[in-house]
Amino acid sequence: MPPRTAVQKKGGKRRYLRLVDGVPTEHINVTGCTRYWGSMPWAIPYGAKTVSEKFRAGKESGILDALYEADPESAVQWLKKAPYEDRDAAGAKGTKIHNLFEQWLKGDSDSEQIVAEIDDPEVVDMYWGLHDLCRRYEIVWERSEQTVFNSDVGYAGTMDGIILITFPGEEKPRRCVADIKTSRSVSKAEYAMQLAALKYGSVIVHDDGSEEPMPETDELGVILWVRPDQEPQVIPAVLDDMTFQHFKVCVAMAYAEKAADERVQFLPPLGDPNDDTKLLTEREGKTNE
C-alpha cells in the first residue's frame, strides 16, 4: 500500500510524502517555506508587546518578584518565553477552530452540540464568525481539508477548502481556494503565496494513496478571517502567476538551506602558521613532488 501522504511528526508538524517514479519522496511544506520571504517587520514589536504584557501581569500577581528574588536569571527566562507562549496559544486556538469547523462540514455534529462542548468564549465567537460568513455570502464548500501536491516544483500542503462564493455586485459564483485565518493580521504576503501554491498544485492525494487532478480555481483566492474582537471578513487574495513565482523562490530557498545543512561547509581551524608541518601550502608542495 502506498505511504500516507501526510505523516504527523513530533510537535504536530506535517511531513508530506508522495510516490514519485515509485519512490516515496518528501516535499517541502507550503506553510513552512514561506518564512523565507523577506523580513518579518512585525516580529520585534510583537515580541516587545507580549513581553511587556507578561511583565505587567507578573508584577501585579507577584510572580515576577518572587522569581527574581529566587533567581534573577529565571525571571529573565520567564519573560523571554512570552512571545512563544502567546504564539503557541494563538496557534492552538486556530487549530481548534479548523478542527471544529471541519467536524461540522463533515456532518459529524451539529453546531449547537459543538458549541456546547467549547469552554473558550473566543473560540465560540470565531466559530460562529465562520458560520456568519458562510451565511452572508452563501458560501458552498465543495472540498475541505485535502492534501495538494506539486511534485514538479517539490512542495505540498493541506488546503482548508475550495468554495463557491458570489462576490458583491457579481451574478456568477467564483470557485476559490479558501483559507481560514485567525491571526491578528492577514495582510501578509506569505498568506497569498500559500494560497497560490495550493491553487497551482497539480494533484490532490488522498490518505489511501489515490490521486485526482487539482480542480481549476479562480485567480482570486479568499481568506475567511475571524477574530474574537472584530467582525469576520472575507479578504480576496491575488493568486496570479507572479504570486506563484514569488512562492517558488521560497521553495528554492528551502531546498537550498536543506542542501547546505547536509554538506560540509567548514573545515577545522588552521594550524599554527609557525609550524611548517601544518602549513597547507607546504603540504600541497610535498604532495606535488
Domain locations along the chain: 6-261
In one letter, which amino acid is 199? K
The strand pairing partners of 274, in sequence order, are: none
Q: What is the pLDDT along the chain (289 residues), one digit of tens a residue?
A: 344 556 656 556 788 988 888 888 899 999 888 888 866 666 778 788 889 999 999 999 999 999 999 999 999 999 999 888 877 787 788 888 888 899 899 888 788 888 888 888 999 999 999 999 999 999 999 999 999 999 999 999 999 999 999 999 999 999 999 999 998 888 888 999 999 999 999 999 987 878 999 999 999 999 999 998 889 999 999 999 999 999 999 999 999 998 988 888 888 888 777 766 555 555 555 545 5
The answer to whether 3 touches 17, Cβ cutoff 8 Å, is: yes
Hey, which residues does 14 pair with through a beta bridge? Answer: 8
Task: Tell whether the torsion through CA atoms of 133, 167, 181 and 211 is positive or negative.
Answer: positive
Residue 19, C-alpha cell as written in the block: 510516490
